[in-house]
Amino acid sequence: MKLYKLALSNIKRNLKKYIMYFFSLSFSVFTAYTFFALLQNEYVLMAFKYDERYKSLLTSFGIVIMVFVMFFLISSNKSFIKARKKEISTYSLFGMTNARIGKLLFLEIIIVGFVALIIGIGVGIFFSKLIAMILLDISLVSFMGDIEFTISPKAAYITAIIFISIFSVMGLSGLRVINKFELVDLFKAHKVSEGRTKGAVIFLILSIILIGFGYYLASGSNPISVVNSSIPILVLVIIGTYLFFWGGLPKVLDIIKRNKGDYYRGVNLISTSGFSHRMKSIGTVMATIAVLSAVATTAIATGYTLYYNIENDVYEQLGYDMYFYGGQEKVLDDVEAVFKKHNIKIIKKLTIQRYTCPSSIEVSEVENSYFRITKEDYFRVYPESLYNKLMSISRCDYKPLKVRAGEAIYVYPFLNDRHRIADAVNGQELNFKDRELTVTSTIKSRLLFFGAKHMIVINDDDFNHLLKIGDITDTDRVGNTYDKVTVFTYEKSLKSTELNRELTKILFASTSGFRTAYNLYEESLQTFGLICFIGFFMGVVFILMTASLLYFKQIMAAEEERHQYRMLRKIGLDEDTERKVISKRLIPVFLIPLLIGIVHSIFAMKSADTIVFSNMIANENSYITVLLCSAVMYGIYAVVYSIFYFITKGQYSRIVKTERK
């Protein structure tokens, strides 16, 4: 029989085992093709080319994916070969040399790989239009269109080259695995201990300390120090995770084993000892998967949170759909005419005068931040009634303020550290000619500053009095009167592309400054849309690959554990108990890395909150919003993992149920 015929018949015979392997190969090819095709797609190129940042982002993203695909393929290939130990040993027994067996396996990989390559690229081509459209749709506000269906030969070519080289590496690594086999080991494969490990308390404690310290650094409230310690955080948490799986978890199992009342229940005895027996061989994989899950969930959660909050953020920044300074007499009529022309209703419109007062407060340093108020600064001042009115017609949802006579509320725009600022500002006195106002509280908001750095809201009577005596003015230092501000809210503001274009033209020509929600929304989408997309894409790839890696490991284990179940059934293990044993045996393998990954991610999101989201999300407690958004993604991640768990359990049960032939 010729070698390739044998290879073909092997594939046919092992079809069931091959199917998942084949699926993951095809999926890797699909991922690669999709990615390269995106890089080649002219619409995508048009959308993102002008920004060099994107190019480097996409490239580094591509490298991460490729490295991971390689790790995944080589690792699953090794598992696959080990799962076929018996078969390989039979060839060896009949006098096939290792080189020839290696050649045979290599042929199998090439045949399966070739088919996977064709199918992966085929599916990639089929979905390329859809994926390009998803990318453009979430990153471009005005993307309406239909893009052409394109086949990218260059992407297919690059993908093929990369995978053929990966397959070759797989073949070589497979040969190494075979060479390490001793014929005698092959025949008693299931008798050889995989290397139990009792673990060590020191590992457990050390891993908890390392991870705990990493978490502590990550949850610091100061954005600058969090950014600075990001590398140490990563190192601490990653090392801690590996230590935990190498020595900590085995120790935990050892402790569980000592609790006889629980451990000596039949189901626990079998499943715990089985799991603990495999700990050494699967520990590294589980740790890697925990780390990757953390990366994937964080990427996906960041993407989703960003995307979910872009629209909110636009209004948190602007408050209205449009506002402009000055030129009211010239443009107001034109603006109204444009709205009429496009048949879009204005919801609210208000023109106000901007007022300021000098600063008599000096706050030189709030620890670890750039916050400061000097006597050279000035405050934007609003009477309580006007402030509340402006807020009520805005797109945001702030509670109306109540300010008593003699008091002032300080509004600060960006900083996270509410308590420190409140401590520094509260109780400070604003001195005017004939009265003093005390700052009694602070709120966080980015609205209504209209060019100022600091803002206060005071009682109406105080305001009128101070305006009369000239402490509050509508002129700047040189004596020029401030331009008035007109704010607008109108319907379909984020969708009216044409309207926005015409408004922009008018306002650009005749006002001294303007902003529209549409323009800001478009900018934000361009910045964040790609990040979101990369987050999703990477998340999906990582989820599927880590989960199928676990699948392979368990299927391999099932082959080796089959004889144990056979014996257990003889002793008197009934089907129900067997099901329970299998569940308990497999659940930790999927659950522990997932949980640790998610916990890591929760703390990573805390850092992301401190650095990015707390400035973006207006809620008092932005971390809650971040967590809620993340929870959606964690949920999806968990669902995908459970699906893989059930597939694995089904296959595992089938394998251990078949009697040895």
Nearer to other proteins among residue 45 and residue 192 (C-beta): 192
* Residue 657 binds other proteins, judged by CB under 8 A: no
Q: Closest approach of Cβ 594 to other proteins, in Å?
A: 24
Region from 52-60, 343-351, 495-503, 566-574 binding other proteins, contact rule CB under 8 A? 566-574
SS3 string of 82-131? HHCHHHHHHHHHCCCCHHHHHHHHHHHHHHHHHHHHHHHHHHHHHHHHHH
As given in the structure block, the two tokens for residue 121 are: 């690229």
When asked if residue 191 is in the footprint of other proteins (CB under 8 A), the reply is: yes
- Stretch touching other proteins by CB under 8 A, among 191-199, 496-504, 535-543, 602-610: 191-199
H or E stretch covering 49? none
Give the sign of the dihedral formed by CA 488, CA 490, CA 492, CA 498: negative
575 binds other proteins (CB under 8 A): yes
Q: Please give the Cα distance from 89 to 185 (Å, whole number).
A: 9
Binding of other proteins by 277 (CB under 8 A) = yes
- Interface with other proteins (CB under 8 A), residue from 467, 568, 638, 640: 568
Which lies closer to other proteins via its Cβ, residue 445 or residue 564?
Answer: 564
Q: How many CB atoms lie within 10 A of CB 261?
A: 6
Residue span binding other proteins (CB under 8 A) among the ranges 145-153, 411-419, 565-573, 606-614: 565-573
Which DSSP letter does residue 191 get? G
Q: Which residues contact 340 (CB under 8 A, 6 or more apart)?
A: none
Which residue, 417 or 561, has its beta carbon nearer to other proteins? Answer: 561
Token pair of 205 as six digits: 């404690």
Q: What is the smallest separation between the CB atom of 658 and other proteins, expressed in angstroms?
A: 16
For residues 235 to 264, the per-residue mask of contacts with other proteins, x marking binding by CB under 8 A and - elsewhere, is: -------------------------xx--x
Name residues whose C-beta falls within 8 Å of residue 574's C-beta, 6 or more positions apart in sequence. Answer: none
User: Whose Cβ is closer to other proteins: residue 148's or residue 575's?
Assistant: 575
User: What character string, x for contact with other proteins (CB under 8 A) and - otherwise, covers 171-190?
Assistant: -------------------x
- Candidates 69, 88, 270, 517: give the one binding other proteins (CB under 8 A): 270
Q: Is 366 helix (H, G, I), strand (E, B) or coil?
A: coil
Q: Which residues, other chains included, contact 84 with Cβ-Cβ below 8 Å and sequence gap of 6+?
A: 14, 17
* CB contact at 8 A, 403 and 409: yes
553 scored as a contact of other proteins (CB under 8 A): no
- CB-based contacts of 329: which residues, under 8 Å, 6+ apart? none
> Closest CB to other proteins among 273 and 369?
273
Closest approach, Cβ 567 to other proteins, in A, equals 4
- Could you give the string, one character per residue 576-595, with x where binding to other proteins holds by CB under 8 A and - elsewhere? xx------------------
d(CA 239, CA 584): 28
Amino acid at 118: I
- C-beta of 12 vs 191, nearer to other proteins: 191
Q: By C-beta, is 2 or 570 nearer to other proteins?
A: 570
Is residue 571 at the binding interface for other proteins, with CB under 8 A as the rule?
yes
Question: Per rule CB under 8 A, is residue 200 in the interface with other proteins?
Answer: no
**Which tokens go with 581?**
């044993």
661 near other proteins, judged by CB under 8 A: no
Question: Between 65 and 279, whose beta carbon lies closer to other proteins?
Answer: 279
Write the DSSP string, 538-569: HHHHHHHHHHHHHHHHHHHHHHHHHHHHHHHH
The least CB distance from residue 269 to other proteins, in Å, is 5
**Mapping DSSP to helix (H, G, I), strand (E, B) and coil, where does residue 431 land?**
strand
196 binds other proteins (CB under 8 A): yes
CA–CA distances in Å: residue 250 to residues 196, 198, 201, 257, 347: 9, 6, 9, 10, 64
Residue among 95, 153, 470, 572 that touches other proteins (CB under 8 A) = 572
How many residues bind other proteins (CB under 8 A)? The answer is: 29
Q: Which residues bind other proteins (CB under 8 A)?
A: 190-193, 196, 260-261, 264-266, 269-270, 273-274, 276-277, 563-564, 567-577
